[in-house]
Structure 1
């Protein structure tokens, strides 16, 4: 049994249902005319009874829950019988077969059932009309030809309906697939954003909090060793621990969004880098030589260069065993370069693994920059960070 049309259904399905609804309006009008006609009592009341039986049957089937296939079959059987009776009772009621064509589509459970049902309807009005007019070959032929023509229209209707339903179902499937694809894409974007944010937080924690805690650990050990032999030096180291802890606290507030995102005080990039180098020299005792030219650098560039310097110095402190570090900041027409060189033990670049180096590369890549690393065993290490000018404009 064909369900009521839904939004998005093909025009043909809506037309079929509108045809059915309009047919009931015409049937009601015919019943009203019959009430005031000059027909004999048998034809008048018989016609009204048959019309009422068809209407009541259709209303009952429509109100049944679910998909009442058997009830639809009963209604079609009753409709065929009533068509035969109406065409027998009076002239003109054969038009009801044309009006009732949509019902064979709506209430049948298959195209074959609809074709058979509508065919039986054609036979019913042919037989009923022929009996009323007189059972002759001419009468039977005339009624049969007109009924066959109407049945052909019904057959075309029945054949078109499955195609319209298939088109509807295909559109529904495509809409469902589109909705699923949109949901999957939104979920992928959410997961990608979450992964990117985790990566960013991991990099920020490594470059700020982790480096600060590492400095505190080293300074605390040195201060404990110097408490008895060099109290003045121990005091300086304790002050450095306090400053580092305060800086870590500030960085932590930045990470949780309780402070400005950049975490840097105003000033030129050269001033920012020199402050970091002074702290490094004071904390480690390593000789630092710095040639820091003034360079036009926006805040993202300042942060990237500062993090690269901090990571390079942290590697010098933890791994290089160096006695001297040379830092150069240059401004070129094509960009800003930061070069950090130490005289430590060096390493094999191809075997280098670590979150810090990858973090530096990622930071610079986000600004269109590059990281070049040069080192060999016994010959120290050179780190060159470049931020192109066009990335800052």
Structure 2
């Protein structure tokens, strides 16, 4: 689109915008008070041959301006036709009164507001200046000088108005170019942000799936492997124990299958089948752990009030801690305490196993527990050292802590 065809100061004359911009309202007020009213007052006491034609001309120009300015988008009168009429009207008033420089000067902004571009504004305002000067010379008293005061004032006003109009047009053009550039940069930035959010969302989803697989399927398969090895080793000497372990393998495999279907089908979040009080859910997990490993578990599980996501987090933390005890700790006893206060829920799991160096530990399980708790506003604290056992403390906020944080 050629920028020279864009009106310099023109409002959007689309159907959706019928309101007159505030600067244009002030221009209309100035034009009426300083452009139309003075000629009307000046001819009020003149003969009818001067007075009435001047009144008619001023009325026609007023109605034409109202058709363009007060009803944008309705095409009651095209802006170019209005400007041609305005130029002719200013010249006719100058002829009728013998002067019209003031009316021309006050009317100059109209040419830059409603013209289709700077070239059109210069041409139409130049025609108005020429008609004003010609009307002043031909309609004035006999002997009016060709370059009298009114004519010089008209030409000077045209020169000054053209200079200011071109300057404003240049500034406006630069502003529009800068606006377009900034809009393009904003669109590119928004697209890049959308793409970054998409990539981040995909990464977050992959991490969530990896955590769920680690906490469910991977732990289940690890348990199946340990139980299968124990069952095979105990078949000759402890067939009853091996049968019990095979039953545990079957149960764990069924649970893994259900978790896999939930992950693949996304019918419900993994662990979504957890029902009943969380204490009972944890109790069943501890009983399975004792049954599979023979390690004694001392549990103090209070009934806590929490939502499903918190219950899943508590269960996963318990399962991961017990899996670590089974794989690494070589513990003979485990203690589990679940408690709730007004400020939160605490889950503490301790063992008397080998312990480890927490700072040197690099495991997906601990990081997964930390992130899972952090998503719910909680935190994980692991205390251990080689030979001194391990203490895992999972803390989740309660109703009062949520209210204070809010």
State the shift of 1:138 in Å.
3.2
C-alpha separation in 1, matches of 2:344 and 2:279: 15
State the shift of 1:212 in Å.
0.8
Q: 1:124 to 1:312 in 2, by over 3 A?
A: same
Moved more, 375-384 or 188-197: 188-197
C-alpha separation in 1, matches of 2:149 and 2:377: 88
- Alpha-carbon deviations, 1:97-131, whole Å to 9, x = none? x899959x86768xxx997998899789989x999
Q: 1:3 to 1:114 in 2, by over 3 A?
A: closer
1:387 aligns with 2:396: yes
User: For 1:20-59, what aligned pairs fall within 5 Å after superposition?
Assistant: none
Counterpart residue number, 1:302: 311
Gaps of 5+ in 2: 26-86
Counterpart residue number, 1:37: none
Choose which of 268, 285, 296 in structure 2 pairs with 1:288: 296
C-alpha separation in 2, matches of 1:333 and 1:126: 90
State the shift of 1:372 in Å.
2.0
Report the secondary structure of 2:310's partner residue: helix
Q: 1:14 to 1:237 in 2, by over 3 A?
A: farther
1:219 aligns with 2:227: yes
- Alpha-carbon deviations, 1:23-51, whole Å to 9, x = none? xxxxxxxxxxxxxxxxxxxxxxxxxxxxx
Assess if the C-alpha contact under 8 Å between 1:250 and 1:263 holds in 2.
Answer: no
State the shift of 1:243 in Å.
0.8
Assess if the C-alpha contact under 8 Å between 2:354 and 2:388 holds in 1.
Answer: yes
Counterpart residue number, 2:159: 152
1:341 aligns with 2:350: yes
Q: 1:106 to 1:388 in 2, by over 3 A?
A: closer
Assess if the C-alpha contact under 8 Å between 1:277 and 1:288 holds in 2.
Answer: no
C-alpha separation in 2, matches of 1:204 and 1:152: 78
Choose which of 232, 248, 262 in structure 1 pairs with 2:256: 248
Moved more, 197-206 or 325-334: 325-334
C-alpha separation in 1, matches of 2:290 and 2:262: 26
State the shift of 1:386 in Å.
2.3
Counterpart residue number, 1:277: 286
Q: 1:265 to 1:119 in 2, by over 3 A?
A: closer
State the shift of 1:313 in Å.
0.8
* CA-based RMSD: 4.7
C-alpha separation in 1, matches of 2:378 and 2:318: 15
State the shift of 1:356 in Å.
0.9
Q: 1:339 to 1:117 in 2, by over 3 A?
A: closer
1:163 aligns with 2:166: no
C-alpha separation in 1, matches of 2:280 and 2:148: 109
Counterpart residue number, 1:198: 206
* TM-score calculated relative to the size of structure 2: 0.62
Counterpart residue number, 1:2: 5
- Alpha-carbon deviations, 1:83-106, whole Å to 9, x = none? 9xxx9xxx99xx9xx899959x86
Assess if the C-alpha contact under 8 Å between 2:279 and 2:304 holds in 1.
Answer: no
User: For 1:328-367, what aligned pairs fall within 5 Å after superposition?
Assistant: 328-367=337-376
Assess if the C-alpha contact under 8 Å between 2:378 and 2:396 holds in 1.
Answer: yes
Assess if the C-alpha contact under 8 Å between 1:372 and 1:384 holds in 2.
Answer: yes
Moved more, 309-318 or 221-230: 221-230
Moved more, 168-177 or 153-162: 168-177
State the shift of 1:367 in Å.
2.9
Gaps of 5+ in 1: 16-82
Assess if the C-alpha contact under 8 Å between 1:288 and 1:325 holds in 2.
Answer: yes
Assess if the C-alpha contact under 8 Å between 1:13 and 1:164 holds in 2.
Answer: no
Q: 1:12 to 1:173 in 2, by over 3 A?
A: farther
Equivalenced residue count is 322
Assess if the C-alpha contact under 8 Å between 1:130 and 1:143 holds in 2.
Answer: no
Q: Which runs of 4+ in 1 moved over 6 A?
A: 8-15, 98-101, 113-127
- Alpha-carbon deviations, 1:296-348, whole Å to 9, x = none? 23122221111111001111111112233222333445433222222221111
- Alpha-carbon deviations, 1:116-153, whole Å to 9, x = none? 998899789989x999x9xx993355795265145236
Assess if the C-alpha contact under 8 Å between 2:355 and 2:387 holds in 1.
Answer: yes
Report the secondary structure of 1:383's partner residue: strand
C-alpha separation in 1, matches of 2:370 and 2:333: 24
